[in-house]
Amino acid sequence: MGPTCSGKTGAAVELVQRLPLEIINVDSALVYQGLEIGAARPEPEVLAKAPHRLLGFLDPSEPYSAARFREDALGEIADIHANGNIPLLVGGTMLYFKALQQGLADLPAADPVVREAIDAIAREHGWPEVHRQLAEVDPETAARLKPNDGQRLQRALEVYRLTGEPLSALHRKQKSVALSDTEENPSPAFPYTATCLALAPASRALLHERIAERFHTMLEDGLVEEVRQLKSRQDLHRELPAIKAVGYRQVWDYLDGLYSYEEMVDRGIIATRQLAKRQFTWLRGWPELEWFDSDHPQLIEQLENRLAPLLDSVFS
């Protein structure tokens, strides 16, 4: 785990060469086809020696939820175990990690990170904009709420962002399905033992430098043209989760003429820094998390030494 630009993929690829591991992608942008440059998809030669599961398997027109990730990831974990290996889950989409380990209730608890993101929309554009976004994903709930009913709008959009399902649909499920005390939990606890490791540079300023450098490199590598190709598809629009990914949304809006190239660059870098900040917020509250300095010269050896005894106990 770790913030964006912390070297997670590079470290994972090295570990796969040394230990009986298989990588599962835990990045919400990398599940999509066609999101390569802006999502920092590993190069083909890297994937050849370290294949990633749940990578580029979904069309960008399809929404993908934490609940669906949990189902897919559990299937991949079981398959990796059947191969005689151990899963190495790698990425920065903290909600996916949380859903995988803790499950998802029918109605999730309030999440401060998601709520702050919705509050930011309201501060910048007003609650009617939140109402408009809710209407796109849950028109039934939006129809019964006033455009300035901030508390209820926030909760309804929060539930959708956490579960991928409209609040109205979840209410219908709760009314039609009554679980007895003997029935199985629809989202049981994670049935495995997880070792949670986080990579991050020691300096936040250094991370910000790398974020800016990488965004400029993405632009040099053709990010604008990549988004232009996506934009040429009639079935894609700016409110889809794939297009909302950091970097893609800013370039999309630039191509729509909403602001200049220079402003797009600034917005893309700022949005990526904000993503890193949200990731740190998640990680600071993560139970039993072990931190590693991503710039340590012996990082790979440190990680290998940490994991090798665990693997020995599994395979002994």
Q: Is residue 288 a part of any domain in this protein?
A: yes
198 φ/ψ angles, rounded to the nearest 5 degrees: -125, 135
Q: Is residue 1 a part of any domain in this protein?
A: no
Do residues 137 and 99 share a domain? Answer: no
Q: Check if the beta carbon of residue 76 is closer than 8 Å to that of residue 68.
A: no
Which amino acid would we find at residue 45? E
Q: Is residue 299 a part of any domain in this protein?
A: yes
Per DSSP, the three-state class of 305 is helix
Q: Is residue 181 a part of any domain in this protein?
A: no
Better-scored residue on pLDDT, 81 or 179: 81
Residues in the chain: 316
Q: pLDDT tens digits, residue range 232-248? A: 999 999 888 899 999 99
Give the number of domains in the chain. 2
Do residues 211 and 267 share a domain? Answer: yes
Do residues 276 and 152 share a domain? Answer: no
Q: pLDDT tens digits, residue range 105-164? A: 567 777 888 999 999 999 999 999 999 999 999 999 999 898 988 888 999 999 999 988
Do residues 117 and 16 share a domain? Answer: no
Of 93, 66, 27, give the one whose Cα is nearest residue 163. Answer: 66
Confidence of residue 184 (pLDDT cuts 50, 70, 90): very low
This prediction's pTM: 0.77
Q: pLDDT tens digits, residue range 258-297? A: 999 999 999 999 999 999 999 999 999 998 999 999 999 9
User: Which of 157, 176, 195 represents a domain boundary (last residue)?
Assistant: 176
Do residues 116 and 100 share a domain? Answer: no
User: Which of 176, 199, 228 represents a domain boundary (last residue)?
Assistant: 176
Better-scored residue on pLDDT, 57 or 177: 57
What distance in Å separates the CA atoms of residue 244 and residue 256, rounded to the nearest whole number? Answer: 14
The distance of Cα 6 from the centroid of its chain, to the nearest Å, equals 15
Find the domain containing 17 and state its range.
Answer: 8-104+187-315
Do residues 208 and 66 share a domain? Answer: yes
Domain containing residue 140: CATH number: 1.10.20.140
Q: Is residue 131 a part of any domain in this protein?
A: yes
- Is the pLDDT at 103 greater than 80, yes or no? no
Do residues 214 and 285 share a domain? Answer: yes
Neighbour tally for 267: CB within 10 Å: 19
Do residues 249 and 131 share a domain? Answer: no
Upper half-sphere CA count for residue 119 (Cβ side, 13 Å): 7
Domain containing residue 302: CATH number: 3.40.50.300
Do residues 48 and 121 share a domain? Answer: no
Do residues 130 and 254 share a domain? Answer: no
Do residues 53 and 139 share a domain? Answer: no
Pull the structure tokens for residue 13: 């690829």
What distance in Å separates the CA atoms of residue 138 and residue 155, rounded to the nearest whole number? Answer: 12
Pull the structure tokens for residue 274: 């904000």
Do residues 140 and 278 share a domain? Answer: no
What distance in Å separates the CA atoms of residue 240 and residue 244, rounded to the nearest whole number? Answer: 6
